[in-house]
């Protein structure tokens, strides 16, 4: 299980990564250096005992989600993910 400490609305919590897909590989002979599709990232915010915190999970803003994804990418080197 992949998880890391974070905070949401000044509440210390743990982000448990449920699913991560870094996006597709580049096509052979592609004219662009862009991947074919976007990364996918799904997670659950838990307390420090591992229990989900529903009111936080249900009220995350797009900014919260983007920040948590950025934090995940910073931690990705610790895991077996290729988070290019």
Task: Give, rounded to a whole angstrom, the gap between the first and last alpha carbons of the chain.
Answer: 20
**pLDDT > 70? residue 11:** yes
Question: Is residue 59, in this structure, part of any structural domain at all?
Answer: yes
Range of 64's domain? 2-78
pTM: predicted TM-score of the whole model, two decimal places: 0.78
Question: Is residue 83, in this structure, part of any structural domain at all?
Answer: no
> What's the pLDDT at 33?
60
Find, among 20, 64, 19, the residue nearest to 56 by Cα.
64
Residue with the two structure tokens 């799904």: 42
Alpha helices in the chain (DSSP H): 54-57, 62-75
Nearest-angstrom CA–CA distance, 16 and 72: 10
Q: Tens digits of per-residue pLDDT, 33-83? A: 665 678 899 999 999 999 999 999 999 999 999 999 999 998 887 665 544
Number of domains in the chain: 1
């Amino acid at each position: 299980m992949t998880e890391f400490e974070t905070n949401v609305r000044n509440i210390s919590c743990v982000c448990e990564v449920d699913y991560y897909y870094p996006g597709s590989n580049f096509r052979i002979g592609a004219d662009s250096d862009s991947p074919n599709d976007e990364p996918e990232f799904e997670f659950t915010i838990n307390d420090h005992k591992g229990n989900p915190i529903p009111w936080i999970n249900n009220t995350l803003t797009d900014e919260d989600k983007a920040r948590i994804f950025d934090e995940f990418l910073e931690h990705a080197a610790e895991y077996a993910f290729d988070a290019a």
